Amino acid sequence: MDGATTIGSRYDCAKVCVEIGVEADLPSTINVDIGNNFIVGVKVEIPWPQISGTSKSGQFSHCSLDLPEGRGVINITLIYASNTRMERRELWRDLDNLSTTVAGVWFLLGDFNAVRNISEVQPSGREVQTDSIINEFDRCLNSLSWITLMWVATRSNKRGVDFQARKLDRVLMNEQWLLLKFSSMVEFLPPRISDHSPSLLKFCDLENPGPKPYKFFNHWTKHVEFKGIVEEVWKKQMDWNPISVLYEKLRLLKVELKKFNKRAYGDLQHVVETLKAELFSVQEVILAGNSSADLLAKKLS
């Protein structure tokens, strides 16, 4: 306890230091002897999620965190893979065995010291080819159905100007996370004096976007049906005040234009999203170093 509490001059803000083992459970109450054989029970409030189900090896540390408000449990495994191939094989086996005991949401993050394919390597001075080391890591992730949330390129050796940047630091999640109403993101912090970038995993409640806003597309006005739809709605007779009539006709027109858009153009939003996804895919391939004429022409088109 602090000095003021010990001499009895103030009891409203006692500071109590308790030493427990790193894997021990925190107590719910602590009995404090404030003198004269008078013991007070102090409730322990924990401002961070409860940790349980810990396990570890030389290359990973695993734990489970209770989400607030009784919303379930998430499993987190921190990875620091060995530099040697044989020891990494042990890690892949350990993760496979761990998957049989883990239920629900699972995050896997850290330094894997391996890449899934040669596109995750930016070589300098020598050619990179797919080998059994790459295949082993790729099979491990495929067998566990991991989804990449984020990765960052990491310098993998110190050979002066002749070095390779590899995607060694990454954050993965399983499909169960997508079923929860949370949003998540990863921020990779500056590596400073290290060859690796610390990853900061953030997640929070999804914001309710509300109903999809109505959009008026200018190209509708050039369609032969547009003028007739507007005239049909506008000639409806309504015995209301002018403002109410205007509001109701605009509402009815919106309904009819939505039907017209779907009938005349189909799901335009889906078409736009599909084209965006195709564009992003081409850009990723080009950024990975494959800037062939066909890809560049496809991007420009």
pLDDT tens, 285-294?
656 555 554 5
93 Cβ contact list (under 8 Å, min separation 6):
none
Tokens in use for 178?
């997508």
Query: In this structure, is the dihedral angle defined by the CA atoms of residues 266, 272, 277 and 283, taken in order, positive or negative?
Result: positive
Confidence of residue 227 (pLDDT cuts 50, 70, 90): very high
Confidence of residue 231 (pLDDT cuts 50, 70, 90): very high
pLDDT for residue 137: 86
pLDDT for residue 288: 59
- Which strand (E) or helix (H) includes residue 233? helix 226-234
- The matching CATH number, chosen from 3.30.450.40, 3.30.160.150, 3.60.10.10, 3.40.1650.10, for 51-205 is 3.60.10.10
Confidence of residue 256 (pLDDT cuts 50, 70, 90): very high
| Mean pLDDT in residue range 12-24 | 64
Spans of all domains in the chain: 1-47, 51-205, 218-265, 268-300
Helix 226-234 and helix 242-265, axial crossing angle in degrees, nearest 10: 150
| Mean pLDDT in residue range 275-281 | 77
Q: Where do runs of H (alpha helix) occur along 3-144?
A: 3-6, 85-99, 132-143
Q: Are 251 and 236 within 8 A, CB to CB?
A: no
pTM for this model (two decimals) = 0.51
Instruction: Provide the 10 A C-beta neighbour count for residue 1.
Output: 14
Amino acid (1-letter code) at residue 102: V
pLDDT of 53 > 80? The answer is no
> Which of 9-13, 16-20, 33-37 shows the highest mean pLDDT?
33-37
